């Protein structure tokens, strides 16, 4: 059952392979010295596998995936990075992301996807990572 789920997740993640522009933007953020983390509801092992496959794992200081709760993940990022809450921007695509950002008192940038966001406080809404460049 776990292998089936793993295969399904991998197939889904491959269907959203980041284009060259997204990869270039992530690398430019890394080159600027920004602290980049992955915080996702997807299992950590699957995230790491895909980031390695896409050759962008070195852009991120840490990957936090399921089963870690997103609020706990944000707390961990704040503690490890030494950043203040006002310095952290959480980019997400779902209500759970907005709620975690709100309960952690960090800014939330909404990047719409196939996930639905039904409620939550949004600091900014963007249509792509290139839009994020003006806020960092």
pLDDT of residue 10: 47
Q: What is the CATH number of the domain that holds 114?
A: 3.40.50.1000
Rounded alpha-carbon distances, angstroms, from residue 91 to 30, 94, 135: 16, 10, 12
Report the alpha-carbon distance of residue 15 to residue 129 in Å, rounded: 18
Tokens of 4: 């089936």
Domain that holds residue 20: 2-135
Name 124's bridge partners. Answer: 109
Model pTM greater than 0.85?
Answer: no
> pLDDT, tens digit, for every residue of 12-67?
454 556 778 888 888 888 888 888 899 988 889 988 988 898 888 998 999 999 88
Q: Which of 113, 108, 66, 118 is CA-nearest to residue 93?
A: 113
Number of domains the chain contains: 1
Q: Which of 78, 128, 129, 73 is CA-nearest to residue 96?
A: 73
Contacts of 10 (CB under 8 A, 6+ apart): 46, 49, 50
Under DSSP, is residue 90 helix (H, G, I), strand (E, B) or coil?
A: strand
* Residue that is written with structure tokens 């952290």 in the block: 88
């Amino acid at each position: 059952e776990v292998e089936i789920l793993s295969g399904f997740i991998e197939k889904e993640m491959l269907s959203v392979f980041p284009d060259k522009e997204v990869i270039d933007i992530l690398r430019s953020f890394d080159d600027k010295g920004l602290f980049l983390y992955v915080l996702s509801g997807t299992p950590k092992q699957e995230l790491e596998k895909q980031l390695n496959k896409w050759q962008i794992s070195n852009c991120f200081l840490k990957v936090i995936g399921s089963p870690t709760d997103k609020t706990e993940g944000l707390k961990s990022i704040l503690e490890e990075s030494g950043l203040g809450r006002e310095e952290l921007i959480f980019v997400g695509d779902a209500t759970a992301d907005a709620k975690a950002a709100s309960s952690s008192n960090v800014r939330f940038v909404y990047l719409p996807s196939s996930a639905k966001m039904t409620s939550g406080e949004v600091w900014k809404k963007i249509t792509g990572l290139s839009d994020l460049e003006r806020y960092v």
